[in-house]
Amino acid sequence: MSTAHALLGLLEPAPRHGYDLKRLFDRYFAPDRPLAFGQVYATLGRLERDGRVVVASVDQAEGPERKTYAITGAGERDLDDWLRDPIDPEPHLQATLFTKVTLAVLTGRPVTKLLDAQRHAHLARMRELTTLRRDAALPVALLADYALFHLEADLRWIELTAARADELGRVIPPLIADPATAEVRPTSVETSHA
Amino acid sequence: MPDIAVLDPDTPPAVTPRPVQDSHGRVVLAGEGLVKRFGQTEALRGLDVEIARGEILAVMGPSGSGKSTLLHCLAAIIRPDAGRVMLDGARIDDLGEGDRTKLRRRRFGFVFQFGQLVPELPAIENVALPLLLDGVARTEAQARAAELFPQLGLDGLEQRRPGEMSGGQAQRVAVARALVTQPGVVFADEPTGSLDSLAGEQVMELLTDAARATDTAVVLVTHEPRIAAYADREVVVRDGRIATTSGR
C-alpha cells in the first residue's frame, strides 16, 4: 500500500489537517489497523520535502499548532500517474509460504503439519474479516472481501500442495549432510525437531 | 433396544420450542470412533468429533476424505460399521430405520447443494413440509413456516414456486425448511455450492444468524474457505480421520 499516494488522493479535493487525513485514511483503507500519527506526519514531511504537498496554513489558536496541508501541481501529477499505471501483478515467485514448504521438504520436516497450521491461521484471519464485513459500510466490506479472496487463493494453493506433499518429497529429496562438513556442525545448538 | 427417548424429548416434539438456557458449551452431537467401509474402501477410520450446542462447525478436507460419509453418519442417514453417534447423550446410530427417519425429521435440519425443494409446491409449503410430514396441522404448519420468511429475507415470496425464484432465494427457502422444526442440529452439505459469491454470502449470513439466534448447531461441510470462515471452528478430515482442528 502506498500511504503517500493515499494521502495525496485525500488532499486533492481540499486541504486538510493531519488529523483529518488520518481519520479518512483509517476509515477507507485501514479499518482494522489504524495508521499511527507518527507515520502520517513522517509521510507528510517527505511529501513536503519532495514538493508534492505544502503547508497551506498554521492554526495556533489553542494548544499545539495544527498545520493544514495542500497538494501541489507536482503532487497532482504524481497522483494521476500512480492511479493510471497498473500495479505489478502479484504475487511473485518468492512467497514466504512457498519457501517454508520447500525448506520443510529439504530438511525432512513434515509438510502437512506446516500446511495444517497455516490453514488454521488463514481461516482464523478469514473469520475475523468475515465478522468485520458483516456490519461494515460498503467500502470497508469490499476491502475485507479483497483480503478474503486473496487469503482464499492462498488456501487453494495450500490444499493443492497438501494433496501433492508426498510427490513433492520424491521430487526434492531432503538434503543430506555432507560427511566432510558434518563434523564441524555446531553441537551446542539444539538441532533436533519433530 | 434403542433409546426411544431421544426421539421424543418434547411432547409433541415438533411444536415445543427447544430450551436454550443452561446449554452453553454442552456437547449436542458426537461421533465416537466412527468406522465406515464401502466394499474395500474404508471411508471413516475411527473418527472422533464433537459439536457443542449452538456451535457452527466447518468440516473441510479433500475430495474422498470422508467428510460426506461423516455427515451421513452423524445425521443418522447411514449407520457406521463401528463406533457410536450420540445426540444429547443418547445413542442414535443403532436405531432402526423408522426411528432414524423420525429422528431426522424432528431433531435435524438439512440443506444440500441442489434440488431439494419440491418444484410443484409454493415456497411456504416447501418450508412447512417437515411439519406436515410430522403430523402438524396445515394451518399451524404454514403459520410457523411464515414466521421464517422475514428472518431469511424472503418477504413476499411465500407463494412463489422454486422455478420462479433465483438460486439464492431458493436456497434461503431450503434454509427456512431446515430450521422450521427448531432442530438441535442443521446439516449443511456444500450449501452454497451452486450459487455465485454474493448469493452464497447472503445465504451464509442468514443461515448463521438464524442458527445463532436459536442456539442451533450447524455441521457445515464445505471445501470453500470463504464459506468455512462463517463457522466458529473447523476440522479437517483426511484419510477418514480428523487430521487437525482449530481451537475453540
Among A113, A155, A166, the strongest candidate for a mutation testing the B interface, having the largest count of B CBs within 10 A, is A155
Please answer whether residues B88 and B9 qualify as being in contact, where contact means their C-beta atoms are separated by less than 8 angstroms: yes
Q: Which residues of A touch B (CB under 8 A)?
A: 112, 116, 119-120, 122-124, 126-127, 129-130, 134, 148-149, 151-152, 155-156, 159, 162-163
Calculate how close chain A gets to B246, using CA atoms only, in Å.
Answer: 6
Mean pLDDT, residues B43-69: 94
Do strands B217-221 and B185-189 pair parallel, antiparallel, or not at all (unpaired)?
parallel
Per-residue pLDDT band at B67 (split at 50, 70, 90):
very high
pLDDT digits (tens, 9 = 90+) for B161-212: 999 999 999 999 999 999 999 999 999 999 998 888 889 999 999 999 999 9
Burial-class residue A88 by CB neighbours within 10 Å (0-12, 13-18, 19+). exposed
The reply to whether B9 falls in a domain is no
Tell me: pLDDT of A85 over 60. yes
CB contact under 8 A, B225 and A124: no
- B56 at A interface, C-beta within 8 A: no
In sequence order, the 6+-apart residues with CB closer than 8 A to the CB of B177 are B109, B116, B117, B126, B127, B129, B130
Report CA A75 to chain centroid distance, whole Å.
Answer: 24
| Number of domains composing chain B | 1
CATH number at residue B95: 3.40.50.300
Cβ separation of A120 and B205 shorter than 8 Å? no
CA-nearest of B167, B176, B174 to B148 is B176
pLDDT over 80 (residue B248) = no
Of the pLDDT bands very low, low, confident and very high (cuts 50, 70, 90), residue B38 is very high
| Predicted interface score ipTM higher than 0.90 | no
Task: Give the per-residue pLDDT at A29.
Answer: 85
Picking from B107, B113, B122, the residue whose alpha carbon sits closest to that of residue B179 is B107
Contact assignment for B229 to A134 by CB distance below 8 Å: no
Q: Nearest to residue B80, comparing CAs of B32, B40, B39?
A: B32
Interface membership of B234 toward A (CB under 8 Å): yes
User: Each residue of B124-137: pLDDT tens digit?
Assistant: 999 999 999 999 99
CA B159/CA A77 separation, integer angstroms: 58
**Percentage of chain B surpassing pLDDT 70?**
89
Q: Do B246 and A120 touch (CB under 8 A)?
A: yes
Give mean pLDDT, residues A84-106: 78
Q: What is the pLDDT of residue B13?
A: 38
Tell me, what's the pLDDT at B246? 82
B196 touches chain A (CB under 8 A): no
CB-based contact B20:B215 (threshold 8 Å):
yes
In a mutagenesis test of the B interface, which of A119, A132, A133 is the best target, namely the one with the most B β-carbons within 10 Å?
A: A119
For residues B8-25, give the mean pLDDT: 42
How many CB contacts within 8 angstroms connect chain A with chain B? 42
Which alpha helices (H) appear in chain B, and where do they start and end?
Answer: 67-74, 97-107, 123-133, 138-151, 167-179, 197-213, 225-228
DSSP reduced 3-state for B241: strand
pTM of the full structure: 0.78
Could you tell me which chain A residue has the CA closest to the CA of B230?
A127
Q: What is the mean pLDDT of residues B68-90?
A: 96
Give the residues across from A66 on adjacent strands: A59
Is the separation of the CB atoms in B37 and B79 below 8 Å? no
Judge whether residue B10 has pLDDT over 80: no
Better-predicted residue by pLDDT, B95 or A29: B95
Q: Across A26-30, A174-178, A188-192, which has the greatest mean pLDDT?
A: A26-30
Residue A110: band (very low, low, confident or very high) from pLDDT cuts 50, 70, 90: confident
Q: Which domain holds residue B116?
A: 26-245
Chain B residues in contact with A119 (beta carbon < 8 A) = 236, 244
**pLDDT band per the 50, 70, 90 thresholds, residue B115:** low
Q: Which amino acid is at A132?
A: L
What architecture (CATH level 2) is domain A3-84? Answer: Orthogonal Bundle (1.10)
Is B135 part of any domain? yes
- Angle formed at CA B163 by CA B157 and CA B165, multiple of 5 degrees: 35
**Residue B190 distance to chain A (closest CA, Å):** 16
**Cα–Cα distance between A141 and B243 in angstroms, integer?**
33
CB nearest A130 (choices: B229, B234, B246): B229
- The predicted pLDDT at position A90 comes to 65
**Region of poorest pLDDT, from A69-78, A147-156, B9-18, B188-197:** B9-18
pLDDT band of residue A93 (cuts 50, 70, 90) is: low
Burial category of B95 from C-beta neighbours within 10 Å (exposed 0-12, middle 13-18, buried 19 and up): buried
Distance between CA atoms of B152 and B147, rounded to whole angstroms? Answer: 10
Give the residue among A54, A130, A179, A9 at the shortest CA–CA distance from B220.
Answer: A130
What's residue B217's pLDDT?
Answer: 97
* Segment B228-244, tens digit of pLDDT: 999 999 999 998 999 88
Question: Where does the pLDDT of residue A173 fall: very low under 50, low under 70, confident under 90, or very high at 90 and above?
Answer: confident
Question: What residues of chain B lie within 8 A of the CB of A152, using their CB?
Answer: 224-226
Residue B35 is assigned to a structural domain of this protein: yes
> Binning pLDDT at 50, 70 and 90, where does residue A176 land?
confident
B243 reaches A (C-beta below 8 A): yes
The answer, yes or no, to whether residue A51 has pLDDT greater than 80, is yes
**Cα A32 from Cα A145, distance rounded (Å):** 14
Give all strands (DSSP E) within B1-55, no chain letters. 27-38, 41-52
Q: 3-state DSSP helix/strand/coil percent for chain B, to nearest 5?
A: 35, 25, 40
Q: Given a cut of 90, is residue A191 above it in pLDDT?
A: no
Nearest to A126 among B223, B229, B236 (CB): B229
Domain layout of chain A by residue ranges: 3-84, 96-182
DSSP state, residue B164? G
Which residues on chain B are in Cβ contact (under 8 Å) with A155? 225
